[in-house]
C-alpha cells in the first residue's frame, strides 16, 4: 500500500506555492557578477528581451548548457524551417505556459 497522501482536490503548482509561501532556491550568477561566456550570453539576452529573465539565470552556473539551450530555443521559436508560423509557435508557448501556471 502506498504511503502517499491523496488529496480530495489536488492542488496546482501555483496553489501549492501560494499556500506554502516559498519556492526552491537555486543559486545563480547575477548579471553584475557574470564574466566570460556568461557575460556575453547575458548581454545577448538583454538585447533580445530587455533584461535577463530568471529562466536564463537559473542556468548561469553552467554557461555552456545555457548557450546550447538558448540555441535550441532560438531554433525552435525563430527558425524559418518550421511549418508553423512564428505567431503559431508563440501561441502554443503561451497556452503551455498558462496550463503550467507559468508567468513566462
**Count of structural domains within the chain:** 1
40 in a domain, yes or no? yes
pLDDT of residue 17: 60
84 in a domain, yes or no? no
**Neighbouring C-beta atoms of residue 29, cutoff 10 Å:** 17
pLDDT in tens, 3-53: 554 555 555 656 666 655 555 678 899 999 999 999 999 999 999 999 999
46 in a domain, yes or no? yes
Conformational region of residue 7, where left means phi above 0, alpha means psi within -120 to 50, and beta covers everything else: beta
23 in a domain, yes or no? yes
101 in a domain, yes or no? no
60 in a domain, yes or no? yes
**Neighbouring C-beta atoms of residue 44, cutoff 10 Å:** 15
Helix (H, G, I), strand (E, B) or coil at 81: coil
Q: Considering the chain, what percentage of its residues have pLDDT values greater than 70?
A: 76
Say yes or no to pLDDT of 102 above 90.
no
Residue-range definition of the domain harbouring residue 47: 13-76
26 in a domain, yes or no? yes
pLDDT of residue 1: 46
pTM above 0.95, yes or no: no
57 in a domain, yes or no? yes
Amino acid at each position: 500500500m502506498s504511503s502517499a497522501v491523496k488529496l480530495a482536490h489536488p492542488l496546482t503548482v501555483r496553489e501549492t506555492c501560494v499556500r506554502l509561501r516559498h519556492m526552491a532556491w537555486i543559486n545563480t550568477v547575477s548579471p553584475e557578477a557574470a564574466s566570460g561566456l556568461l557575460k556575453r550570453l547575458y548581454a545577448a539576452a538583454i538585447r533580445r528581451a530587455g533584461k535577463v529573465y530568471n529562466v536564463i539565470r537559473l542556468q548561469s552556473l553552467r554557461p555552456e548548457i545555457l548557450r546550447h539551450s538558448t540555441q535550441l530555443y532560438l531554433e525552435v521559436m525563430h527558425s524559418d524551417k518550421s511549418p508553423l508560423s512564428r505567431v503559431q509557435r508563440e501561441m502554443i508557448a503561451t497556452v503551455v505556459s498558462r496550463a503550467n501556471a507559468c508567468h513566462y
